């Protein structure tokens, strides 16, 4: 049986106590944290950047990050994430003029390469670069904000990406981001996700640990 993993997105955490919020979800057994970087240009919101990751690392919190860059231009940001416990850097194909060059910049700092596909983004962006990827992130909302409604038509896209990955016979992870909750996680995993990014459903709940356990139980039962 395939093990699907819950990856908390700290976009919906309480930034006043960010270190504590991260430690809470680590207690629930999560070992990867999703980190949304928004620039008020590629998306209309402004969030966090490498300085915050540096503070987290310097505070002694030991965890790996899954950095989701929603920024354009994006190339100049990438080197700033070197040596900050970043496992993956995921970019959007529309945020760069030269996708292959951007991918090579991520490899150069020894991070896994992720490509994010917005709900309306064509799968053709994968045609020539799929072999270069470690992760494909399917967005189930339009990027920019936490707490949005899951777009159900994306389930078909998750299935399509699953079969492209299987066909490629490469070790590429399929992650799904946006609007995932206790009520729809079953559909997401049954469509073929390897991991699910969950923001508001965890950080807006009364008990993070309980919510992560409930999500994990659903995964185990399915």
Cβ proximity of 31 and 22 under 8 Å: no
Ligand-binding site membership of 112 (annotated) = no
68 contacts Zn ion (rule: CB under 5 A): yes
Map the footprint of ligand DX5 across residues 36-65, applying CB under 6 A.
36
Cβ atoms of 194 and 2 within 8 Å: the answer is yes
Is 194 catalytic? The answer is no
**Does the annotation list 9 as a binding residue?**
yes
The binding track of 6-45 with respect to Zn ion, each residue x by CB under 5 A or -, is: ------------------------------x---------
Q: How far is the CB of 1 from Zn ion (least distance, A)?
A: 27
166 is catalytic: no
Q: Exactly one of 13, 197, 212, 215 binds ligand DX5 (CB under 6 A); which one?
A: 197
Could you say which residues in the range 203-222 bind ligand DX5, by CB under 6 A? none
Interacting span for ligand DX5 (CB under 6 A) from 53-61, 94-102, 146-154, 161-169: 146-154
Residues ≥6 apart with Cβ < 8 Å to 104:
none
Residues near Zn ion (CB under 5 A) are: 36, 68, 177
Residues carrying an active site annotation:
36, 177
């Amino acid at each position: 049986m395939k093990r699907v993993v819950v990856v908390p997105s700290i976009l919906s955490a309480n930034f006043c106590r960010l270190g504590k919020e991260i430690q809470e979800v680590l207690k629930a057994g999560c070992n990867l944290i999703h980190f949304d970087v928004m620039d008020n240009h590629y998306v209309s919101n402004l969030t966090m950047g490498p300085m915050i990751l540096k503070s987290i690392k310097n505070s002694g919190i030991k965890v790996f990050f899954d950095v989701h860059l929603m920024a354009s231009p994006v190339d100049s940001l990438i080197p700033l994430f070197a040596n900050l416990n970043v496992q993956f850097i995921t970019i959007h194909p529309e945020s760069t003029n030269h996708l292959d060059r951007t991918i090579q910049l991520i490899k150069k700092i020894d991070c896994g390469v992720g490509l994010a596909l917005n709900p309306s983004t064509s799968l053709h962006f994968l045609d020539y670069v799929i072999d270069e990827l470690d992760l494909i992130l399917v967005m189930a909302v339009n990027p920019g904000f936490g707490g949005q409604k899951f777009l159900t038509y994306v389930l078909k896209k998750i299935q399509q990406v699953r079969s492209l990955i299987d066909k490629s016979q490469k070790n590429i992870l399929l992650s799904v981001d946006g609007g995932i909750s206790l009520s729809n996680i079953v559909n997401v995993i049954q469509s073929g996700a390897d991991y699910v990014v969950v923001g508001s459903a965890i950080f807006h709940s009364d008990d993070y640990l309980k919510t992560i356990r409930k999500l994990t139980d659903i995964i185990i039962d399915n």
